[in-house]
Structure 1
Amino acid sequence: MRSTMFRIGGELDVRRLGFGAMRLPTGPGSDRDASLAVARRAVELGVTLIDTAHMYGWGANEELLAEALHPYPDGLIVTTKVGIARSASAAGWRHDASPDGLRAQVDHALRRLRVDRIELLQLHRIDPAVPLADQLGALRELRTEGKVGQIGLSEVTVTELDEARKTVDIASVQNRYSLVDREHEPVLAACEAAGIAFLPWRPVAGATSGVAAGVAADVAAVATELDATPAQVSLAWLLARSPVILPIPGTGRIAHLEENVVAAGLHLSPAQREQLDGLDRLPTQD
């Protein structure tokens, strides 16, 4: 029987279907009120893993979650990511995983989230200008100081994951992955072998429209059989795909949030699993 729980790093017990906070508007007014309501509703629905990052509004998303949820209920893990800084470039950001940069970002995150310790901290991107051992060594020092609990990575290859584990224990990996975007299948396999949590971002992208429209018809057919939505089927497939997968679908609407949470209880038959497993791995659209 499929487990609904996972223990990250052997310490943090969470429900496998989490929530990604990136899409929550953080500006003033009614949009912010709606964001606060969505975050609170996620916890009411039993979500125990919420993902944010320094990059999401340059700290504004972290502040929003603190406003909505602090003091945090027992068992709720708010994970954040560091290693990206704002810049004047066309992209609007740059890598900054220097030891000093990471330490400053962690201190800011602690203040914004109103906590003394970040139970799961993830390196948003490996900084190509800084030796990986120096980046992870800084996070290991922060863990020794008690400011960080478990350490994770984001958007890494199998080789990078292996290299990182020589410096520090890795509890999670957050890579792009979905029913129609399986580029990081080798990374998922490595995580499963090591018992590392795998948090796919954009977990339902491409399954319902766009360039993957051919696949969308197959997903819609399974959804009809289950009286579910294609997004729910996509999430159910992820949960069935591997016991280490912890999807973090994001939304700014309560109705969509509630729809996503229902997917945790949706079970695919062996025939439906086989049908979905066999779909072409097509690229997704932004």
Structure 2
Amino acid sequence: MLEKIYIEFPVNNVIEEGKEKQKSGSSWVHEPRAREIEEVMLLIASGLSISANKKINIEFGSRVIEWIENGQLSSLKVSMCGGLGNESDSREIGSPMFLRSILVGVIEKQHDPAFTFFIRGADDALSHRFIEAYYNFYFFIEYLYGSGKFKTKKIINEFLVSEELGEALDSVIKDEVLATVASKDFIKMLKGASHEEIYSHIVSTRGGLQHPKKVGPKIWHPEKQYDYLNEATFLHLVCLNIAMKRYYSVAFSERVESAYKNVMHCLHRKSKIHIVTK
């Protein structure tokens, strides 16, 4: 049974174009020769799948990266996207937001489908399914701001009308968080572009994914998720900015705040909590 594949290679001074290798003191590490490794893994998986007549995955996103210096394993840990490997899969929700989430549900009752698009996109992004994530994040902004338009020029014009979307765009571009994930070239492009140019890039990226071509400048591979890391991460942060503001405006509304205070009194008295809605 094949359980592991080891690929060892030297890191030369020539680093993949558009990337740079930063080590000590850096919050992010771009992995040199990643595309080469991805090609090797895809070919191996294809050969095994064809031979077995069954889909066999060798997940590029599940690789473990180690640095070896002077024959010794370096203490530097690297995550799946090339970042320092101090990530934790655990997620904790404090009791205040736990209670507010329940109250919002029983008081408001009507769910916004935009939140479902966002949650699915976030799950895809955190699982390194960047192509699927991009689709869901695009559906999020299309649902909220597209006004049912689908032709490129018309939907870009609809996006331009929204102050909320424009403010989220500006906020993410200014935020240093994006610089820890996206490439320098991508960030440079964003900072030098107008809102209309950014929306055009977002819509054309979605169009390229929607209509795959065998030849031409916009060829994409369904297994090469990391080719869309920049776009998916940027849209993730934009949608997160919007989703948080929209949800928290409800979670801290006057109606929910009043109910929250009553619940806290019940908890303090250790009495049963009754929530009556109309």
Do the two structures share a fold, i.e. TM-score over 0.5? no
Which has more helix, going by share of residues? Answer: 2
Which has more strand, going by share of residues? Answer: 1
State TM-score, norm by structure 2.
0.28
Q: Which has the larger radius of gyration?
A: 2
State TM-score, norm by structure 1.
0.28
